[in-house]
Amino acid sequence: MSKTIFERVDDFIKDMNQKLANYRKELEENSQTGQGQKQAKIPVITFVHNNNTSSYMRTPRQHVDSLLKNRSWTFTSRHLSNSARHILIKIDGAVNWNVEKKETWKPYDFDRIKEMWNTCMNTHTLSNYKGKSGWGSGDPLHLELPNSTPSLNHPNVRKVIQLYVEETRINGKPKNGKLERVQRFKRAIEQYEKKLKK
């Protein structure tokens, strides 16, 4: 029986944390002075599950709220089919959101971190938000099952389209420009708009 998204992400986190602990030990050893005194303190970096409910399985209503706030740009989110999770990165116990800046990771080498990340994704059969392996710039803390994109006919996706169109065309909420520039989503919106006019 294949592992669930939670189990795979849990294994990914454990694997990354072990690699980071080993890397930290290496950095500490390299920072020793001739007198055996340590120089700068090496920060402790750990990965944890994001326990925010929106990072787990999303209802259509929750996903539409993300679209309206421009926090998502797709109708076919893997969160709608319980196929994706978000994780968090902590530095010395505090969550850090600037994870795409090299400076955040110093004295760790960001490129080496990304190589470790890629290795762990492949080991635990996970994809980034683009459905590919490796660090996903733009939404790097998103992990998902490969080939898990729900279709536009998935019941939850159809409900998202309905709610989004009603919110933006009837209730006056601002449109999500990035979403509406995607041709297949634009067509889905137009199809539902026709239903509203009947």
pLDDT at 127: 97
Ranking 33-37, 38-42, 159-163, 182-186 by mean pLDDT, the lowest is: 33-37
From the number of C-beta atoms within 10 Å of its C-beta (0-12, 13-18, 19+), residue 197 rates as: exposed
Of residues 13 and 2, the one with the higher pLDDT is: 13
What domain range includes position 138? 5-197
What is the average pLDDT across 131-147? 93
Tell me if residue 114 falls in helix, strand or coil. helix
Share of the chain above pLDDT 90, in %: 85
Where are the strands (E) in the chain, listed by range?
A: 45-49, 84-91, 94-95, 142-144
Share of the chain above pLDDT 70, in %: 96
Tens of pLDDT, residues 65-102: 999 999 999 999 999 999 999 999 999 999 999 999 99
The band of 39, judged by pLDDT with boundaries at 50, 70 and 90, is low
pTM recorded for the entire structure: 0.85
Q: Give the whole-angstrom CA distance, residue 86 versus residue 90.
A: 13
Number of domains in the chain: 1
pLDDT at 198: 72
Q: What are phi and psi of 104, to 5 degrees?
A: -60, -35
Q: Please, are residues 20 and 87 in contact by the beta-carbon 8 Å criterion?
A: no
